[in-house]
């Protein structure tokens, strides 16, 4: 078992280094290997989706089997999944019936969740000061209000709205870049830990 | 070549700091969210409640996957720490390969803790493949699985507000971090202790995931200062009339 774990780790590290070198060095062999490994990974990811669907079904069926309150929703989900999957396989994704399923069920459900999200966000903003009454929270709410007023003013007085947008945008662009630089550094180091086999989320340690 | 140079510098620093960390334990600034997480883990074990770790839907083929990998590193440590509890953490993700990795991580954490019988493959779940389906699937978990703390860490968008609301309704702790700016803004308003920017990637060091995590935190600091110097130097040179 431990030999398998070492082999898994060695293969993962080697693949990672080859793909990375394929990006950095313009050597044709490396670039071909990079492309081949990426293609393999895409095929594996496609298979993983099927495994994910099986996992989803197993979890929902477990709810039904143990008689949980939400078991009925689980059963409904599995039934809808089987019917849609079956029709999708038989008719193809471009069939009008499949398109109708998307337009008449999925889009309205997502839209209703989006509207629920709007209410949730307003509620969260109102409660922010109760949860954390500090300078940063006040500043956060003031900037949010300023952005909203800038959008409103753009409709009535474009010059004023644009001016406000420019003012707020100047600070927000700087802040955004700072946050993104921090995230980029974190991404680099996290990737490096996985690449060198320090973190092995694939069961290697 | 510049990218390769930055990569090699970061790799060298990571190696050096990992060796240095071995000799002296790290001292970090206080981050409220991670203190709350450590407390929540202890409470979950004592109360017989669960942790819910939400890894988001970061595709591992893109840079967005890194936030999920950071979440997996934390999950590994948290699963080890809660292995004595009879209610192991439940992990949700919106991406199939991420769910498989979370199952693998849970299994190896229990194996390392000598509690492999704790592992159930249904504790690493896919709850949906699109943002709102994922959120809709993960929302009821707090109530149904007796969850006392939600750790949302990974690539999530605005749908994170629904998870935060579900957590708040059940009076569960929420510790959230995302690499997505919209989600960060929402989590700032919704969570008790917000995590901003790169704080997402330092969790491993704060939950005791090992010296390599502490070392990478120090490398991040060094690289950040180098970047600041480069930006200031560039601004100064432009001010002096140099074109580049």
Token pair, residue B64, equals: 């967005």
Res. B228: pLDDT tops 60: yes
Question: Is B115 an 8 Å CB contact of chain A?
Answer: no
B121 contacts chain A (CB < 8 A): yes
Please give the ipTM for the structure prediction.
0.89
Which H helix or E strand runs over B175? strand B173-178
- Average pLDDT of chain A is 87
Q: What is the pLDDT of residue B166?
A: 92
Give A131-171 pLDDT, tens digit per residue.
788 888 888 888 888 888 888 888 788 888 888 888 888 88
From residue B15, give the alpha-carbon distance in Å to each of B19, B20, B179, B213.
Answer: 6, 9, 26, 11
Closest chain B residue by Cα to residue A113: B132
* Min distance B110 CA to chain A CA atoms (Å): 11
Would you place residue B78 in the very low, low, confident or very high pLDDT band (cuts 50, 70, 90)?
A: very high
pLDDT for the residue B28? 84
A205 band by pLDDT with thresholds 50, 70 and 90: low
Model confidence at A203: pLDDT above 70? no
Across the interface, whether the CB atoms of A117 and B190 are under 8 A apart is answered no
**pLDDT of amino acid B23:** 67
Tell me the whole-structure pTM to 2 decimals. Answer: 0.89
Q: How far is B241 from chain A (nearest CA, A)?
A: 23
Query: With 0-12 CB in 10 A as exposed, 13-18 as middle and 19+ as buried, what is B46?
Result: exposed
Average confidence (pLDDT) over A117-131 = 84
For B162, nearest residue in chain A (alpha carbons): A117
B41 touches chain A (CB under 8 A): no
Number of H helices, E strands in chain B: 10, 5
Show residues of chain A in contact with B122, CB under 8 Å: 55, 58-59, 62
Which residue is closest to B107 within chain A, CA to CA? Answer: A203
User: What is the average pLDDT score of chain B?
Assistant: 89
How close is the nearest chain A Cα to the Cα of B126, in Å? 6
pLDDT score for B147: 93
What pLDDT does residue A98 have? 87
In degrees, rounded to 5, the angle at the alpha carbon of residue B231 between the alpha carbons of residues B9 and B67 is 55
Least confident of A44-58, A118-132, B167-181: A118-132
| Cross-chain CB nearest to B10 (options A20, A58, A189) | A189
Mean pLDDT of the region B5-22: 87
Which residues of chain B make contact with A180, given a CB cutoff of 8 A?
181
Q: Is B62 on the interface with A (CB under 8 A)?
A: no
pLDDT band with cut points at 50, 70 and 90 for residue B148:
very high
How far apart (Å, rounded) are the C-alpha atoms in residues B154 and B217? 18
B225 touches chain A (CB under 8 A): no
Percentage of chain A lying above the pLDDT 90 cut: 33
Inter-chain touch A188–B10, beta carbons under 8 Å: yes
- Name the band, by pLDDT with cuts 50, 70 and 90, for residue B134: very high
pLDDT, one tens digit per residue, over B22-64 is 666 677 888 999 999 999 999 998 988 999 999 998 888 887 8
Nearest CA in chain B to A56: B126
CB contacts of B197 in chain A (<8 Å) are 178-179, 182-183
Parallel/antiparallel/unpaired status of strands B50-56 and B173-178? unpaired
What does the pLDDT read at residue B86? 83
The Cα B68–Cα B70 span in angstroms is: 5
pLDDT, tens digit, for every residue of A54-79? Answer: 999 999 999 999 888 888 999 999 99
**What's the distance, CA A165 to chain centroid?**
29
Question: CA separation (Å) from A137 to A128, A134, A165, B185, B193?
Answer: 7, 5, 21, 11, 12
- Identify which of A167, A115, A178, A163 has the alpha carbon closest to the alpha carbon of residue A142: A167
CA of B182 vs chain A CAs: smallest distance (Å): 11
Average of per-residue pLDDT across B76-98? 90
Write down the pLDDT at residue A110: 86
Smallest Cα–Cα separation from B102: which of A201, A126, A109, A198?
A201
Which pLDDT value is given to residue A58?
93
B104 interfacial to chain A (CB closer than 8 Å): yes
DSSP string for B177-211 = EESSHHHHHHHHHHSSS---GGGGGGHHHHTT--H
Give per-residue pLDDT as tens, B110-131: 988 888 888 888 899 999 998 9
CA distance B179 to chain A (A): 7
Tell me whether residues A183 and B158 touch, CB distance under 8 A.
Answer: no
Residue B21: band (very low, low, confident or very high) from pLDDT cuts 50, 70, 90: low
Place of tokens 């006392």: B148
Contact A69 B192 (CB under 8 A): no
Two structure tokens written together for A191:
């990737």
A149's CB contacts (< 8 A; 6+ apart) are A164
């Amino acid at each position: 078992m431990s030999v398998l774990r070492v082999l898994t780790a060695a293969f993962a590290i080697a693949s990672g280094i080859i793909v990375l070198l394929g990006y950095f060095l313009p050597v044709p062999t490396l670039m071909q290997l990079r492309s081949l490994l990426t293609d393999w990974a895409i095929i594996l990811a496609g298979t993983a989706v099927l495994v994910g669907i099986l996992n989803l079904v197993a979890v929902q069926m477990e709810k039904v089997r143990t008689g949980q309150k939400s078991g009925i929703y689980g059963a409904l989900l599995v039934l809808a999944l089987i019917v849609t999957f079956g029709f999708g396989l038989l008719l193809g994704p471009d069939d009008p019936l499949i398109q109708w399923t998307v337009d008449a069920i999925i889009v309205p459900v997502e839209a209703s969740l989006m509207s629920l999200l709007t209410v949730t966000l307003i509620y969260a903003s109102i409660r922010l000061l109760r949860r954390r009454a500090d300078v940063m929270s006040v500043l956060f709410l003031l900037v949010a209000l300023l952005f909203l007023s800038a959008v409103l003013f753009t409709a009535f007085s474009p010059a004023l709205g644009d001016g406000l947008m420019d003012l707020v945008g100047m600070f927000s662009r700087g802040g955004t870049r700072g946050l993104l630089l921090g995230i980029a550094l974190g991404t680099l180091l996290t990737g490096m830990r996985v690449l060198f086999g320090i973190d092995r989320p694939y069961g290697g340690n | 070549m510049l990218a390769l140079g930055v990569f090699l510098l970061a790799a060298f620093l990571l190696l050096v700091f990992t060796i240095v960390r071995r000799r002296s334990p790290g001292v970090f600034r206080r981050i409220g969210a991670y203190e709350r997480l450590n407390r929540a883990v202890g409470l979950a074990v004592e109360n017989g409640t669960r942790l819910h770790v939400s890894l988001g839907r970061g595709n591992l083929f893109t840079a967005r996957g890194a936030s999920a990998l950071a979440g997996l590193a934390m999950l590994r440590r948290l699963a080890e720490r809660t292995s004595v509890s009879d209610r192991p953490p439940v992990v949700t993700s919106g991406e199939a390969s991420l769910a498989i990795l979370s199952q693998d991580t849970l299994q190896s954490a229990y194996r390392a803790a000598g509690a492999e019988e704790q592992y159930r493959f249904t504790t690493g779940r896919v709850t949906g493949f699109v943002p709102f389906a994922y959120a809709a699937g993960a929302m009821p978990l707090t109530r149904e699985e007796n969850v006392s703390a939600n750790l949302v860490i990974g690539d999530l968008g605005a749908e994170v507000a629904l998870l935060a609301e579900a957590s708040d309704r059940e009076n569960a702790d929420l510790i959230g971090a995302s690499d997505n700016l919209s989600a960060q803004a929402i989590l700032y308003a919704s969570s008790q202790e917000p995590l901003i920017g790169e704080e997402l990637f330092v969790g491993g060091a704060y939950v005791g995931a090992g010296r390599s995590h502490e070392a990478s935190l120090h490398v991040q600091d060094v690289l950040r200062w180098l970047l600041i110097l480069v930006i200031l130097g560039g601004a100064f040179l432009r001010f002096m009339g140099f074109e580049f």
